[in-house]
Amino acid sequence: MPDFQLESDAIAQGLSPVAGIDEAGRGPLCGPVVAAAVILAPDNIPPGLRDSKKLTARRRAELFDIISGQCHVGIGLASVGEIDDINILRASLLAMRRAIEDLPESPALALIDGNRQPEDLPCPARTVVKGDDKVLSIAAASVMAKVTRDRIMADLAREFPGYGWERNAGYGTREHLAALNTLGVTPHHRRSFRPVHNILYQDE
């Protein structure tokens, strides 16, 4: 289970507040990539926080509401166009930077999930591999990013029915791939991703 040790160590060194950063949506074939930045209050940490992938959808939604109500949260997106222009890794880092910039106060330190950090951050940063499993602030960010993105995809599913985005969040499931072949490519699909690219250019 994640803990608050890295945050506590940083705060003890005068680095406060500390934000956890994570993203959701690097793998799907469509939709934006979404990042979240969360500053937890050391004396008011929501119970049961862990990597969003290890929580049920219901518990993620519950934690989303709790975190929204008692923590500082920033959300950043990178669009499908940006993903296709600069690649998904750079777009993910861009979304992370935007999430940090969206916080109501600038953190003294950002703890970022993974092994890469965005450029030109407004604060010092440290990367943490598998941080959503280790660091409570990053786990909180993983919940906020995942729920935000899932809700975006559910909204897009109503605009473009048949792809199952409300269930698959845009990942390349059998249902989604079948719909791509029968219904075609939408404006929300990532044209640089191979399954989409192959359909668009199958005659070349």
Domain boundaries 5-198, corresponding CATH code = 3.30.420.10
CA distances from residue 15 to 39, 127, 159, 184 in whole angstroms, order as listed: 12, 16, 45, 50
pLDDT digits (tens, 9 = 90+) for 112-126: 999 999 999 999 999
What is the spatial distance between Cα 116 and Cα 112, in angstroms, rounded to a whole number?
8
Bond preceding residue 17 cis, omega within 30 of 0: yes
How many whole angstroms separate alpha carbon 34 and alpha carbon 195? 21
Q: What is the pTM of this model?
A: 0.96
- Tokens in use for 183? 């219904």
Domain assignments of the chain as residue spans, ordered by start:
5-198
CA pair distance 45, 134, nearest whole angstrom: 15
Are 49 and 137 within 8 A, CB to CB?
no
Weakly modelled stretches of the chain, pLDDT under 70: 203-204
